[in-house]
Structure 1
Amino acid sequence: MSEPTPSPTRRTLIGLIAAAPIAALAACATPLGGISPEEGVQRLLTAASQAAFARLIQPGGFYDDQLTRLALPTPGEGRGGAVLAAVLRTQAVQRRLAMAVNDIAVDAADRAAPIVYDSIRRMSFADAVSILRGGPTAATDLLRRETGGALVEAMFPEFTAGLRGDAFEILTAALAAQSGFDIGAVANTISRQASDSIFRAIGREEAAIRAEPERTRDPLLIALLRGGVL
């Protein structure tokens, strides 16, 4: 059985957090044609992040997308690894555990979203023009470097608690047979996967916005990316 998905209230909260950076930028924006490259990068990253999290926090948001789907760590050697490998040979069990892991990731995204938006607000851009003229995920790549392992740290408690839930009874029983097993190590591995998935999702949205800025409905960003400002 999958873990519960986020409540409508929690989704609404993420939506409000997501909207805040755009609102703040709009309040201090200069007239069309006067937007700075720095503001442009912030708008681009905010729009891409909003679109990415809007997908990820939906039921099945991680599992239903090959780009973001999480996988259980490969079983190690020893008795525990052999038992786990035998358990995971069953497709029904594989699917059940995979869906449960990805359901936890949906909840973990609640912890990650505010960190992403805060990082965007705090970022400084030494060469914003080169970022805007860079590759399809140039801004996301910078965001990932600036954010570092903060998303992993934020999501780790969610995965640690989730892996102790009823949905993982088979998994934990198999791993318990492995000498020195630490559920925290498994949670850390999956947290890193989830962080990678989030940045891949943001990068995909950035590339889509660069290709079609009109989807943002932001006239300043559209003008910037279409070459009307730089």
Structure 2
Amino acid sequence: MKKIIVCALVAFVSYTATAQGIFNKINKAIKKDSTTTSGGGLLGAIKNGGSSGTSGAGLSNADIVSGLKDALRVATDSTTKSLSAVGGYLKNEAIKIVMPAEAVKVEKTLRGIGAGALVDKAILSMNTAAENAAGDVGGIFLTAIKQMTVTDGINILRGGDHAATDFLKRTTTATLTEKMRPVIESSLKKVNADKYWNDAFSKYNLFAQQKVNTDLTAYVTGKALEGMFYKISLEETKIRKDPAAQVTDILKKVFGGK
């Protein structure tokens, strides 16, 4: 069985070659709302059409949500630029695309017999495909952000550390998949990775209890999106908790108390 698995994987691998400091103020405002009856704080400004003695004072709901949209725009722009750079996925251990869990034992066997370079080439091809696809999706995030309603914005402000990421995931995953899949497919086909993945793991799945997805493009696309939203969630957490600069005029206006 192990020999069949190793041969199958060898058949595949041998052919593969700022925005910061915004939500900290929001969280403080939310906490203030929960301890007062006057409707103060940022949520009070939202509820009352923009009358509050804290950040966001005198601003309308539209102004406040505009600031939130700008924060998300900067966060997603930073994410897509970093992931589309050479090594954007490959050099980030948290999101690097590796062999599926079902094939880890086979990978170890290959490395143990001196075939690690083949595995590395396979992993390189998958991560390069993801990086190629990440650079052209900023417009999808921008469209979703533009379509955000006041209700969406308020729910995000009231939500947890990843509420904005959850909003983007809910509203963009289908479109992102449609956009990224053909780019990833084209990149993998250049080294015949998709063909040999299918051939290798179709045979592997005949004997394995845990099946491997024979659609390499789908596997890489799913992992690429998973990594992208993970990176955005980190940006969101930083934005919520780090009291650093607001980088655009609307962010300063809404969240800087100016």
Tell me if TM exceeds 0.5: yes
**Counterpart of 1:196 in structure 2: which amino acid?**
E
On the 8 A contact 2:97/2:220 being kept in 1, the answer is yes
On the 8 A contact 2:189/2:195 being kept in 1, the answer is yes
Matches within 5 A, 1:95-110: 95-110=120-135
On the 8 A contact 1:71/1:98 being kept in 2, the answer is yes
On the 8 A contact 1:209/1:215 being kept in 2, the answer is no
On the 8 A contact 1:164/1:172 being kept in 2, the answer is yes
What is the root-mean-square deviation in Å for CA atoms of aligned residues? 3.5
Q: Does 1:150 align with 2:171?
A: no
Tell me, in whole angstroms, the C-alpha distance in 2 between the residues paired with 1:174 and 1:54. 29
Alpha-carbon spacing, 1:174–1:200, altered in 2? closer, same or farther (3 Å):
closer
The answer for unaligned runs of 5 or more in structure 1 is: 4-31, 77-81
Q: Does 1:176 align with 2:199?
A: yes
Helix, strand or coil: the match of 1:192?
A: helix
Once the 2 structures are TM-superposed, how far is the Cα of residue 134 of structure 1 from its aligned partner?
2.7
Alpha-carbon spacing, 1:95–1:215, altered in 2? closer, same or farther (3 Å):
farther
User: Of residues 236, 240, 244 in structure 2, which corresponds to 1:210?
Assistant: 240
Alpha-carbon spacing, 1:94–1:222, altered in 2? closer, same or farther (3 Å):
farther
Deviations 1:171-226 (A, max 9, x none): 74364253599x98220121111111111111111211222353442354256446
How many residues align structurally? Answer: 194
**Counterpart of 1:201 in structure 2: which amino acid?**
K
Tell me what 2:223 maps to.
193
**Counterpart of 1:155 in structure 2: which amino acid?**
M
Normalised TM-score (structure 1): 0.68
Alpha-carbon spacing, 1:100–1:174, altered in 2? closer, same or farther (3 Å):
closer
Normalised TM-score (structure 2): 0.62
Q: Does 1:163 align with 2:193?
A: no
Matches within 5 A, 1:12-27: none
Of 136-145 and 125-134, the range deviating more from structure 2: 125-134
Matches within 5 A, 1:1-230: 33=57, 34=59, 36-74=63-101, 90-166=115-191, 168=193, 172-173=195-196, 175-177=198-200, 178=202, 185-212=215-242, 214-222=244-252, 224-225=254-255, 228=257
Once the 2 structures are TM-superposed, how far is the Cα of residue 121 of structure 1 from its aligned partner?
1.4
Tell me what 1:13 maps to.
none
Alpha-carbon spacing, 1:131–1:94, altered in 2? closer, same or farther (3 Å):
same
Q: Give aligned-pair identity as a percent.
A: 23
Once the 2 structures are TM-superposed, how far is the Cα of residue 150 of structure 1 from its aligned partner?
1.4
Tell me, in whole angstroms, the C-alpha distance in 2 between the residues paired with 1:174 and 1:99. 14
On the 8 A contact 1:69/1:102 being kept in 2, the answer is yes
Tell me, in whole angstroms, the C-alpha distance in 2 between the residues paired with 1:86 and 1:164. 26
Deviations 1:104-156 (A, max 9, x none): 11110133222112221122241523422432221111111111321111111
Helix, strand or coil: the match of 2:184?
A: helix
On the 8 A contact 1:2/1:103 being kept in 2, the answer is no
Tell me, in whole angstroms, the C-alpha distance in 2 between the residues paired with 1:106 and 1:210. 27
On the 8 A contact 1:83/1:174 being kept in 2, the answer is no
The answer for unaligned runs of 5 or more in structure 2 is: 1-14, 18-55, 206-212
On the 8 A contact 1:104/1:158 being kept in 2, the answer is yes
Select the structure of larger CA radius of gyration.
Answer: 2
Tell me what 1:24 maps to.
none
